Every structure is written in C-alpha cells, then in structure tokens.
C-alpha cells in the first residue's frame, strides 16, 4: 500500500500515531505543494470538498493557513466557533461528530481538551485534525520540521533545545524530534516541565537519539542546532502571568544564552511572540531567526495534511 492510500481518511490526534516514514512523506508532500504555489501552478485536488473548522481557542496562523489552504486546494472551509455550534449549549461531541460527518469531508478542531478531539475522531466518519489542544500542537511541529529541513538540509543528527514552558509545544516537539532523529533538550524550571508521561512517550520513539529534560537552560542549549521557545503563559493561563514571569526570567532566550549554542544555530518560535519576555528583539528579529519562514510553512504543511487525509 502506498503512503497516499495509507493516509487517506486518517485522523491527526498527535504525531505519536504516525511513523517516521509517514511523517517524512507528509513533509515531502508539503515541499511539493509549496513549490507548486511558488510556480503559480493551479493545484486543486480538493475541488468540491468542504472542511469544517471548530474553534474554541482563538487563532491567527491556524485559521488562516487552513482556510486559505483549503481555498487554494479548490475546496471550501467553514469557520465554526463554539458559539456557532450546539456544542456551546451542551450537545454531546459524539452527536456533533456524526452530524458534521454527513455534511463535511473533514474537520479541524482547535480546543482545550485532548479528550474532546479523541471523542470527536472516535465518532466521526471523516478525518479529524487536531489544530491544537492543551496537550499537543502537531500541525505546528510539521511546519517546524519542514522549516528545519529547508534551512539545515536534514533532520536526523541535529539537536534542538526548547527553552521555556513545558507545554503542548514541548510535548509535540519531543515526539516530532524523537520520530525524525533529532536530539531534543527541554530547559524548563521545576514545576513547569513537560508531563512525565509525555517525556516517556517521546523517549519510547527515540532510536539512538536523546530526549533530555533539565532545569538548566545553558545545559539544554549547549551545542544546539535549533533553539525554540514559546510564550510563558499560554491561552487560559493569563492569570498566572506575573507568577510565571518570575519563574521564567532565567529562561529568556537572549544573545547571552544563544552564545552557548552552535554559531549557525537557528531560532524558532510558534508565535505570537512577546519581545522582551521569552525572547529578546535582537534574537527574534536577528539574522539567525527563521520565525516567518516557519509561520509561512504552516500553510504548506496544513495543505499537505488535507491533501493526504481528504484527497481521492
């Protein structure tokens, strides 16, 4: 069976469900789709298809990449906030999944609970894509891996250092790196480190590579090829902002910390960024930053997912 046949109709709940070869195929497909766009080629494999996009969390990159991507692929995308659906009035997720399956060709959901995404996928008969939960952000990591490969020419053998909150990005990056042959070191303060079950999950995929968690940002970033960070307080954690700032000040990615990485190390951020907090302006706007190339690749990576899962 080809990857094209193997991936048709699949769900993306997290990258843990995909093999190294399947992820490599998706990245190659994203590269091909990106090239088609640069060449102004008309490419509409999803003509006549409709994607429903459920948003319980606000978004810039996720909404625009999926909506514009679906349009560019010849299809239609429907924006559905929780206020637009009966979910907001207590309709069971299972009922919503069954109803939407009779109307749509795919669902993307961006929400809080990973279990809600799992329940949606369990009851839907069409592909379900996790656009972000409190546990995982697999769509972002596909774009990240695509970007690293573009800049560095390879993935296997590199080292990523993730500095900051051990959140959904840390979880997904650990899994993505372990699957694709990168070492990853998480530098996070005690109390804000990734969930142990996520560390163990990522480690189970590591084949000769290292998944390390430390409270020492210098140890984490030493000799890294890729440095990654995220905001200190994610959506839903705004009331913890001041407390988190105190804990994370030593984990700010600045020139002094970057000096411990390799000289040609690239800087990445899933955005939005708070300059002067988790990263200084001279780093994120400096010559080693690839954050806008990374953001653009959300479009191409998301298009690859939709083509692979929803295409004929």
Condensed to tens digits (0 to 9), the pLDDT of residues 5-41 reads 999 999 999 999 999 999 999 999 999 999 999 999 9
Q: Is the peptide bond preceding residue 272 cis, with omega within 30 degrees of 0?
A: yes
Indicate the helix (H) or strand (E) that contains 66.
helix 61-72
* Of 34-38, 91-95, 177-181, 258-262, minimum mean pLDDT range: 91-95
Q: Is 177 annotated as a binding residue?
A: no
234-263 average pLDDT score: 89
CA separation for the pair 262, 149 (Å, rounded): 17
Q: How far apart are CA 247 and CA 243, in angstroms?
A: 7
d(CA 79, CA 238): 25
User: For the chain, first and last CA: distance in Å?
Assistant: 15
List of domains in the chain: 3-137+298-310 (3.40.50.1370), 138-294 (3.40.50.1370)
Calculate the average pLDDT of the chain: 96
Burial of 303 (0-12, 13-18, 19+ CB in 10 A): buried
pLDDT band of 202, cuts 50, 70, 90: very high
Residue whose entry in the numeric block shows the structure tokens 């080629």: 41
Percent of the chain scoring above 90 in pLDDT: 91
Least confident of 89-93, 113-117, 171-175, 222-226: 89-93
Q: Which of 87-96, 178-187, 255-264 has the lowest mean pLDDT?
A: 87-96
Please check if 37 is assigned to a binding site.
no
CA 258/CA 260 separation, integer angstroms: 5
Asked if pLDDT for residue 135 goes beyond 60, the answer is yes
Q: Any known ligand binding at 140?
A: yes
Instruction: Write down the pLDDT at residue 211.
Output: 98
Q: Is 86 annotated as a binding residue?
A: yes
Give the residue-averaged pLDDT of 287-293. Answer: 98
**pLDDT computed for residue 2 by the predictor:** 85
Q: What pLDDT, on a 0 to 100 scale, did the predictor assign at position 88?
A: 57
Residue 121 CA to residue 11 CA, distance in Å, equals 7
pLDDT band, residue 274 (cuts 50/70/90): very high
Strand partners, 187: 163, 214
Q: Looking at per-residue confidence, does 309 or 83 come out higher?
A: 309
Query: Residue 138 above 80 pLDDT?
Result: yes
pLDDT band at 87 (very low <50, low <70, confident <90, very high): confident
Residues annotated as catalytic (active site), given as ranges: 110, 137, 140, 230, 270, 298
Cα 136 versus chain centre, distance: 7
168 labeled binding residue: yes
pLDDT surpasses 90 at 286: yes
Answer yes or no: is 287 a known binding residue: no
Contact 105, 50 (CB under 8 A): yes
pLDDT for 3: 85
Whole-prediction pTM value?
0.96
78 is in an annotated binding site: no
275 assigned to a ligand binding site: no
Q: How confident is the model at residue 86 (pLDDT cuts 50, 70, 90)?
A: confident
């Amino acid at each position: 069976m080809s990857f094209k046949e193997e991936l048709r109709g699949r769900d993306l709940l997290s990258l843990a469900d995909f093999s190294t070869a399947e992820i490599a195929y998706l990245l190659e497909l994203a590269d091909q789709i990106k090239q088609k766009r640069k060449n102004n080629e008309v490419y509409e494999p999803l003509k006549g298809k409709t994607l429903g996009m459920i948003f319980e969390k606000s978004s810039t990159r996720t909404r625009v990449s999926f909506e514009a991507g679906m349009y560019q692929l010849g299809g239609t995308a429907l924006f559905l906030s929780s206020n637009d659906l009966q979910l907001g009035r207590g309709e069971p997720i299972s009922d919503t999944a069954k109803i939407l399956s009779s109307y749509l060709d795919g669902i993307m959901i961006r929400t809080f609970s990973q279990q809600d995404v799992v329940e949606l996928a369990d009851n839907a008969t069409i592909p379900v894509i996790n656009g972000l939960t409190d546990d995982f952000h697999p769509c972002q990591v596909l774009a990240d891996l695509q970007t690293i490969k573009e800049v560095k020419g390879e993935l296997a053998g590199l080292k990523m250092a993730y500095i900051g909150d051990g959140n959904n990005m840390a979880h997904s990056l650990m899994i993505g790196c372990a699957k694709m042959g990168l070492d990853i070191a998480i530098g996070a303060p005690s109390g804000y480190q990734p969930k142990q079950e996520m560390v163990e999950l990522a480690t189970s995929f590591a084949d000769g590579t290292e998944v390390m968690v430390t409270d020492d940002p210098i140890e984490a970033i030493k000799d890294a090829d890729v440095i990654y960070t995220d905001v200190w307080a994610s959506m839903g954690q705004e009331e913890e902002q001041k407390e988190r700032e105190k804990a994370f000040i030593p984990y700010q990615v600045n020139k002094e910390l970057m000096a411990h990485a390799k000289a040609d190390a690239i800087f990445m951020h899933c955005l939005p960024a708070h300059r002067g907090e988790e990263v200084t302006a001279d780093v994120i706007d400096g010559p080693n930053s690839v954050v806008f190339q990374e953001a653009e690749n959300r479009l191409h990576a998301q298009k690859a997912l939709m083509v692979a899962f929803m295409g004929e």
